[in-house]
């Protein structure tokens, strides 16, 4: 077994820091999972839903796959309605229940005025809601 040395990185030498959003800056999974569950339950209480199977997909992709996995046919207007309801619920939850991860707050304060960038699959709206 190889022994690994813990390296100290000199942050002063770095010019730009790039971060993923979800799981690094904040954890929004609970908000999205709850919004999906509530939306699906309102549409059809019998739908079986396991968020881990759809995590990381866009809302539209997830609903299409969920309906396909459940052998349900979804009209275009119903899809738009589900997307709208889920996004409304998740935005509300992002505002009220999602906080920046404490480790990130500590780390970001060490960077001072260094350039920072977020690269993420999360929507710009979701990121801005949490950061505000």
Q: Compute, in degrees rounded to 10, the torsion defined by CA atoms 98, 103, 105, 110.
A: -170
**Structure confidence at residue 110 (pLDDT):** 87
* pLDDT greater than 70 at residue 5: no
Position with higher pLDDT, 7 vs 75: 75
d(CA 112, CA 132): 19
Those residues whose C-beta lies under 8 Å from the C-beta of residue 16, and which sit 6 or more positions away, are 114, 115, 116, 117
* Confidence band of 4 (pLDDT split at 50, 70, 90): low
- Residue 20 · residue 120 · CB < 8 Å: yes
The helix-helix angle for 29-43 and 76-97 (nearest 10°) equals: 140
Classify residue 100 by its DSSP letter.
B
Largest CA distance in the chain: 58
Cα 127 from Cα 112, distance rounded (Å): 21
Dihedral Cα 96, 82, 23, 98, nearest 10 deg = 0
Region 65-93 average pLDDT: 94
Enter the pTM of the model: 0.81
Q: What is the pLDDT of residues 29-56, one digit of tens each?
A: 999 999 999 999 999 999 989 999 999 8
Cα radius of gyration rounded to whole Å, the chain: 19
Instruction: Give which of 50, 51, 48 is closest to 71, Cα–Cα.
Output: 48
- Tell me, what's the pLDDT at 32? 94
């Amino acid at each position: 077994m190889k022994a690994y040395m813990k390296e100290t990185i000199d942050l002063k030498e770095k010019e730009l820091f790039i971060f993923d959003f979800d799981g690094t800056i904040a954890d929004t999974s609970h908000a999205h999972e709850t919004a999906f569950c509530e939306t699906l339950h309102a549409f059809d209480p019998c739908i079986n839903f396991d968020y881990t199977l759809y995590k990381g997909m866009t809302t539209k992709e997830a609903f299409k796959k969920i309906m396909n996995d459940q052998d349900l046919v979804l009209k275009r207007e119903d899809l738009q309605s589900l997307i709208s309801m889920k996004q409304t619920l998740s935005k509300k939850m992002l505002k009220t229940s999602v906080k920046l991860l404490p480790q990130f707050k500590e780390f970001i304060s060490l960077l001072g005025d260094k350039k920072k960038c977020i690269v993420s699959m999360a929507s710009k709206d979701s990121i801005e809601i949490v950061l505000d």
